[in-house]
Amino acid sequence: MNTWLLHRGAKPCLLLALCAPVAYLVWAAVADQLGANPAEALIRSTGDWTLRLLCLTLLITPLRVITGWTGLARIRRMVGVSTFCYGLLHLAAYSWLDMGMEIADIVADIVKRPFILVGFAGMVLLTALAATSFNRAIKAMGARRWQALHRSVYAIAVFAILHFFWMRAGKNNFAEVAVYAAILSALLGWRARNFWIKRTAGAR
């Protein structure tokens, strides 16, 4: 596996895989295959893929440490930026298809509805992480400040689960929410444990 991850073809293959869901959604929209409510289908699908890729992004480091597959470090940035891109598509679909790009109505909706508010807050933080995900940003900010900023992924995960929970609360459907909450809790717990171990070791 590590040999494949280090192969020069790994990133192009991953990029194609990451683009596949949005390519399918575009095809389905053109072919009128999104069901009775295409707008809702697009908003929900882009949101689902944002959450899935967030889980995948958080999985990469634990998987690298546990398996020793160092090649995973090469793809972490691409997966993280893809998470931001799907989140941006989710926000754009909501703003355009649900709110008609009426800025005043969008702002009022953000203030009025908690699940929209936490989703928007998560997107703001995700934008900050995507904007500083490149080597030049790390050098400009300094490693310590960059790491502090990128720990906001914990808040993003919490906001994502709250957004999903409140969105599903209207239909009293929490099974899928529980699955994502369990996955993200395990991944964030692993990161928090490792951070605490490193901090404790450094204090000795």
> pLDDT tens digit string along 161-201?
999 998 887 777 788 889 999 999 898 888 888 778 777 76
Indicate if the pLDDT at residue 88 is higher than 90.
yes
CB atoms within 10 A of CB 173: 10
Contact between 34 and 41 (Cβ < 8 Å): yes
At residue 153, the pLDDT reads 87
At residue 82, the pLDDT reads 96
Mean pLDDT, the chain, whole residue set: 90
Separation between Cα atoms, residue 7 and residue 13, nearest integer Å: 10
> pLDDT tens digit string along 48-60?
999 999 999 999 9
Stated pTM of the model:
0.91
At residue 3, the pLDDT reads 86
Indicate if the pLDDT at residue 204 is higher than 60.
no
At residue 120, the pLDDT reads 95
At residue 106, the pLDDT reads 94
Separation between Cα atoms, residue 50 and residue 56, nearest integer Å: 10
> pLDDT tens digit string along 105-137?
999 999 999 999 999 999 999 999 999 988 888
At residue 203, the pLDDT reads 54
Contact between 67 and 1 (Cβ < 8 Å): yes
Indicate if the pLDDT at residue 64 is higher than 60.
yes
Q: What is the mean pLDDT of residues 93-113?
A: 93
Separation between Cα atoms, residue 86 and residue 22, nearest integer Å: 8
